[in-house]
Structure 1
Amino acid sequence: MNRDLLRERREWLLRRNCSLSPRQMGMAYGLMCVFSFAVATGFVMIGLWQVLLFTVLEMTAVAAAFLYFARHATDYEHIVLANGKLLVEQVSAGKMSVTQLELYFLRLQMPARYGDLIHLESNGVAVDIGYFATDPRRRALAQELRAEVQGGLFSN
């Protein structure tokens, strides 16, 4: 066999593109609170206390959005093709799921429409991948994966 499946290993890592560190997120939230509450305090001084209530609700909503963002900032997909198997490790909000697929029975469904994920299925086990890739990158990943799988299975 020209191709030694036991020694070849191909990996893909897909993760979120986070532009702010947790410290920067905290600083941004603190600055928003300072400015919003300064404006609200000015309105309270002229007798419009409703603005303060709105500011509290607004900053609570922003805090919830920041917490959601922070919870998912480290999400990723790690795809490993080795030893005749495809291993898909997905982490979302700190919860990891690992799916192992046999290459011999693998069916790869390319994304049909914009926004569709790559669907993988083998022996009744199915997984969708490509959550953290743009549509062009997702299609390129599907083509790379298909070429690697077909090359490993059908080469002489």
Structure 2
Amino acid sequence: MSTKTWQMRRNCALSPKQLLKFYIILVCLSVTVAAGFLLAGVWVILIFTLLELCAVTIGFLIYCRHALDCETIEVNGKQLIVKKFIGYKETIYEFNTQWAKIEPPLEGSKTFFISQSSLRVEIGQFIRQEQQLPLIAAIRPYLG
């Protein structure tokens, strides 16, 4: 019994580990500049440096929370499994390949749906529109 898997990931320039290294360098540089101004008697720069680092920290935390987001479609025999990992929360949906249907995207839609009876899962938020139809065509032969 062969398993076929398709994975769609968010397109991120930096991994969380790379972002942490960049953040440490940024904090060191900002604190060094602020300390230089503080030694020169301009203490107000320290306040703006702390505000800047707070804003950058919040932005980087939001970025890191979603940097590893992905969607996975796996066909294993008569089972179709859709895994959605969004914001460190994984949700798993199981379908029977004999009854599952793929609903093609509506005109201009960024996503498509996999459904079976009352269960309907939105897929494809991490791929471009021109990749949707080839992905649907690749999955269809595995459905009944």
Tell me if structure 2 keeps the 8 A contact 1:102–1:123: no
Q: Percent identity?
A: 28
- Say which of 64, 89, 92 aligns to 1:98: 92
Give the structure 2 partner of residue 128 of structure 1. 122
Mean Cα deviation higher: 57-66 or 133-142: 133-142
- Say which of 10, 14, 24 aligns to 1:16: 10
Gaps of 5+ in 2: none
Q: Quick one: which amino acid aligns to residue 85 of structure 2?
A: V
Question: Displacement of 1:137 after TM fit?
Answer: 2.2
Q: Quick one: which amino acid aligns to residue 122 of structure 2?
A: D
Q: Does 1:77 align with 2:74?
A: no
Give the structure 2 partner of residue 65 of structure 1. 59
Q: TM-score, normalised by structure 1?
A: 0.73
- Say which of 47, 55, 80 aligns to 1:53: 47
Question: Displacement of 1:79 after TM fit?
Answer: 0.8
Q: Distance in 2 between matches of 1:39 and 1:25?
A: 21
Give the structure 1 partner of residue 101 of structure 2. 107
Mean Cα deviation higher: 39-48 or 59-68: 39-48
Gaps of 5+ in 1: 1-6
The count of aligned residue pairs is 143
Distance 1:69 1:120, change over 3 A: same
Measured on the aligned residues, the alpha-carbon RMSD in Å equals 2.6
- Say which of 25, 31, 40 aligns to 2:25: 31
Q: Distance in 2 between matches of 1:121 and 1:67?
A: 34
